[in-house]
């Protein structure tokens, strides 16, 4: 199965600074690369995604970059705000057992210090 790792596991930044979280995956057939945000006590929510034919995608203060050769993709958050504090999960999708299986990373706890 797919091995998915996230780094760092925890990240503290000052409000206004940038944050970068990296996700490394093992299956070169992976073709869809999303990031989910989970606030304390709440459900994970999709915040941005990218497909394998695109290198970068941006949505206001968040962006995702993909390096298929190196098998990693990253979440970039600029001008961080306290409400960005949450756990972030990557969840690449790869073919497995006849369907596209999603494997979640271990999560990165982001703390934005006001």
Partner 1 sequence: NAGVMQNPRHLVRRRGQEARLRCSPMKGHSHVYWYRQLPEEGLKFMVYLQKENIIDESGMPKERFSAEFPKEGPSILRIQQVVRGDSAAYFCASSPLSTGQGFDGYTFGSGTRLTVV
Contact positions vs partner 1 (CB under 8 A):
31-32, 34, 36, 42-46, 49, 51, 89, 91, 93, 95-97, 99-107
How far is Cα 22 from Cα 13, in angstroms, rounded to an integer?
16
Distance of alpha carbon 59 from alpha carbon 48, whole angstroms? 8
Q: Is the Cβ–Cβ distance between 111 and 17 less than 8 Å?
A: no
Nearer to partner 1, 13 or 87 (CB): 87
CB 18 within 8 A of CB 5: no
Rounded to the nearest whole angstrom, what is the least distance from the CB of residue 84 to partner 1 in the complex?
A: 19
- The residue (of 85 and 103) whose beta carbon lies closer to partner 1 is 103
| Shortest distance in whole angstroms from residue 82 CB to partner 1 | 21
Please say which residue, 78 or 104, places its beta carbon nearer to partner 1: 104
**Cα–Cα distance between 90 and 98 in angstroms, integer?**
22
State which residue, 3 or 45, has the beta carbon closest to partner 1.
45
Q: How far is the CB of 107 from partner 1 (least distance, A)?
A: 5
The CA distance from 34 to 68, in Å, is 14
């Amino acid at each position: 199965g797919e091995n998915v790792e996230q780094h760092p596991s925890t990240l503290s930044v000052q409000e206004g600074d940038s944050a970068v979280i990296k996700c490394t995956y093992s299956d070169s057939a992976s073709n869809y690369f999303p990031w989910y945000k989970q606030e304390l006590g709440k459900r994970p929510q999709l915040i941005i995604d990218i497909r394998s034919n695109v290198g970068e995608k941006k949505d206001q203060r968040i962006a995702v970059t993909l390096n298929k050769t190196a098998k990693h993709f990253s979440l970039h958050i600029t001008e961080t705000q306290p409400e960005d504090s949450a756990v972030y999960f990557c969840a690449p999708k790869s073919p497995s057992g006849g369907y596209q299986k999603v494997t979640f990373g271990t999560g990165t706890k982001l703390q934005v210090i006001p």
